[in-house]
């Protein structure tokens, strides 16, 4: 569904104004329904796999992404939530080395939103194999200080 169909009306799909959101959601669902009814499908052969949208890139990888920007925009335009697919799809077959490892960044989700870690989560975060974690806000500076103090020991 994310790539096989064309997605329109995404600009205000999530909007604080209920009437705008409802209008866009109705339009989005109607267009998806029409495509399903008439068997309209997109070419998805360019999708090479899924990886986290949070990644570190080498200079060569960034250059390649910029060279292939228009192609990626064309391929992923009118798709839904493509951020987890486009980097890997561009890098795959390029000859550039890449590693996608879920252990690099530790995330806990509450429904579909990353949970905000607190100072009380310190032991759990330190016990993971992850190099980074997501998500901490400026209201949790005690956690940042505790981590910094632990690193400086």
Judged by DSSP in three states, 23 sits in: helix
4 CB-near residues (< 8 Å, 6+ apart) = 41, 42, 44
pLDDT tens, the chain, 153 aa long: 788 899 999 888 888 899 999 999 999 999 999 999 999 999 888 888 777 777 778 899 999 999 999 998 998 899 888 888 888 888 888 888 877 776 778 888 887 788 899 888 999 888 988 888 888 877 768 888 888 888 877
Q: Which residues contact 98 (CB under 8 A, 6 or more apart)?
A: 61, 88, 91
C-alpha neighbours within 13 Å on the C-beta side of residue 101: 9
């Amino acid at each position: 569904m994310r790539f096989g169909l064309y997605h329109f009306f995404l600009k205000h799909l999530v909007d604080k104004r209920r009437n705008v959101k409802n209008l866009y959601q109705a339009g989005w669902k109607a267009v998806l329904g029409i495509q399903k009814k008439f068997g309209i499908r997109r070419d998805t052969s360019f999708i090479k796999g899924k990886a986290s949208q949070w990644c570190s890139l080498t200079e060569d990888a960034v250059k390649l992404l910029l060279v292939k920007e228009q192609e990626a925009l064309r391929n992923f335009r009118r798709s839904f939530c493509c951020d987890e697919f486009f980097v890997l799809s561009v890098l795959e077959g390029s000859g550039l080395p890449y590693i996608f490892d879920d252990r690099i960044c530790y995330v806990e989700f509450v429904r579909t939103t990353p949970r905000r870690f607190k100072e009380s989560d310190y032991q759990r975060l330190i016990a993971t194999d992850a190099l980074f974690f997501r998500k901490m806000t400026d209201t949790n500076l005690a956690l940042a200080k505790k981590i910094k103090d632990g690193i400086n020991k």
